[in-house]
Amino acid sequence: MLSLLNRNKTFKPRRRADGADNPRYELSKLATDVLGTSLPAGDLREAVKLPDGYAPNDWIAVHLVDLFNQLNLIYGSMCDDCTDGSCPIMSAGGKYEYLWADTERYKSPTRVSAPKYVDLLMDWVDKQLADEALFPVAGGRAFPEDFRSDAKRIVRRLFRVYAHLFYSHLDEIVAVGAEAHLSTCFRHFVFFGTEFGLLPTREMEPLKDIIAKL
């Protein structure tokens, strides 16, 4: 996959839980092992389930890091033709358009190009993952009460990148022979999101036919 990397796009992976002294180190290894395989759909559905003896929020936290890294790499390595000219809006076909909003520069929903949207989204997710008030690193620190709501917002927004990929860039991905990789990553993403109630049915509507075949 790295050989496909578009040198004009920067891939900045979010740091995983490294080191045996990190309370989520073992879980991070488990989640990474899942992402590094091409399991059949049934096995992959089982693989996202919470391992015995672990806290749900810890499992969700380490998965979000790897799901973010995986999608970041897919987009950065396969979408040379996703430009302001080719994709002037962030969309999933003619029926679905996504507007960007955050609490800083874009306080109200704003139309931006697809590559701009993805850049803003990836930067925003990276900041969320780096926020130790939301994703505590030190052992003994509790997750905030609204952690699941924040996790759902992250998953919902990441899904929109997959929706854009399938509608606007699938031919590119097929051309480099990476459709099987995309399919595996997407299956894992959907199974994880639905397993923990992080991916609302209404958000999956643009890809409902694809999801039905998973």
Contact 203, 156 (CB under 8 A): yes
| Three-class DSSP category at 110 | strand
- Note whether residue 199 is domain-resident: yes
pLDDT in tens, 171-187: 988 988 888 889 989 99
Range of the domain at 83: 21-212
Tell me which residue has tokens 């970041």: 72
| 126-136 mean pLDDT | 90
Is 13 within a domain?
no
Q: pLDDT at residue 6 above 50?
A: no
Asked if residue 16 belongs to a domain, the reply is no
38 domain residue, yes or no: yes
Residue 75 lies in a domain: yes
pTM of the model: 0.83
Beta bridge partners of 100: 110
Using alpha carbons, select from 167, 209, 163, 202 the residue that is nearest to residue 186. Answer: 163
pLDDT digit string, tens, across residues 66-104: 899 889 888 987 778 899 999 999 999 999 999 999 988
**Could you tell me the CATH number of the domain that includes residue 52?**
1.20.140.30
Asked if 28 and 65 count as a contact pair (C-beta separation under 8 A), the reply is yes
Q: How many domains in the chain? A: 1
